[in-house]
Amino acid sequence: MADAPSHDPLIHALGAQLAPVRRLRPPSQRALGWTVLLAALAALLARHYGLAPMLTRWSGAPDLAWAGVGSALTAVVAAWVAFSLGIPGRSARRAWLVLPPALLWIGASGMGCLREWVAPDTEVATLAQTHGCFAFILIFSVPLSAVMVWLLRRAYPLRPVLAAVMTGLASAAASASLLEICHEFDAAATDLGMHALAVTLVIGINAACGGRLLQRR
């Protein structure tokens, strides 16, 4: 009976053609790096506008402070979920982790509409004045989304649309957090409506464009 053929030459031939792949950092580390970028933007805005006006508003209307905390937590958790979805085997149910901070963000923001007084150092924005808030969220969401999509493209998530939605939510929530530093208006219905429109638009654009960018070729 003839000897069984050796597979060692085939294995060596296939292995010789493989290029080394740099291992991805854990989702927590990549989310931390993105959060550092967010913190740098916050530091630049704080240096320009100062923190005193924001702290005065927060001390006079604590719901504004809780809304800021909720939006910041939503940004961090959504970023971590987006990076986690780039790892095979990670459950898509992790996306539900953004619900508690998002509810805090939305609920605390809505409390402003129920207050009978205006927060210190603010005024109730007119529809025309809210355009600046709308533009702020869109402008800051662009680089934050672009950086996250660039980082996610190395992983190619198995659920690209969901990862893109988390990217949009993280970027929009982060931009809303940055807006707190220089926001001049109380949480009236017109202002909150414009914020909601901007956040929805950012998430929609990311789902449409980012989902295609993250798909496997």
pLDDT tens-place string over residues 84-131:
988 877 888 999 999 999 999 999 988 877 776 777 777 777 777 788
pLDDT of residue 33: 92
123 domain residue, yes or no: yes
pLDDT of residue 26: 84
155 domain residue, yes or no: yes
Mean pLDDT of the chain: 85
User: Are the C-beta atoms of 170 and 202 separated by less than 8 Å?
Assistant: no
11 domain residue, yes or no: no
20 domain residue, yes or no: no
Amino acid occupying residue 50: G
3 domain residue, yes or no: no
Of the pLDDT bands very low, low, confident and very high (cuts 50, 70, 90), residue 79 is very high
pLDDT of residue 188: 74
Q: Helix H segments across 50-159?
A: 52-60, 62-84, 99-111, 130-153
User: Are the C-beta atoms of 155 and 24 separated by less than 8 Å?
Assistant: yes
More confidently predicted of 1 and 207: 207
Number of domains in the chain: 1
Asked if residue 181 has pLDDT above 50, the reply is yes
Asked if residue 216 has pLDDT above 80, the reply is no
Please name the residues in contact with 55: beta carbons below 8 A apart, sequence gap of 6 or more. none
Task: Give per-residue pLDDT as tens, 46-77.
Answer: 999 999 989 998 988 898 899 999 999 999 99
pLDDT of residue 67: 92
CA–CA distance, 203 with 200 (Å, rounded to integer): 5
Of the candidates 184, 188, 84, 181, which has an alpha carbon nearest to the alpha carbon of residue 140? 181
15 domain residue, yes or no: no
Asked if residue 4 has pLDDT above 60, the reply is no
Of the pLDDT bands very low, low, confident and very high (cuts 50, 70, 90), residue 20 is low
180 domain residue, yes or no: yes
pLDDT of residue 168: 94
CA–CA distance, 17 with 53 (Å, rounded to integer): 61
User: Are the C-beta atoms of 192 and 63 separated by less than 8 Å?
Assistant: no
Asked if residue 139 has pLDDT above 50, the reply is yes
pLDDT of residue 86: 81
pLDDT of residue 27: 86
Domain that holds residue 152: 26-213
Of the pLDDT bands very low, low, confident and very high (cuts 50, 70, 90), residue 1 is very low
User: Are the C-beta atoms of 167 and 199 separated by less than 8 Å?
Assistant: no
Helix (H, G, I), strand (E, B) or coil at 159: coil
17 domain residue, yes or no: no
Task: Give per-residue pLDDT as tens, 183-198.
Answer: 887 777 778 888 899 9
Task: Give per-residue pLDDT as tens, 124-135.
Answer: 777 777 888 899
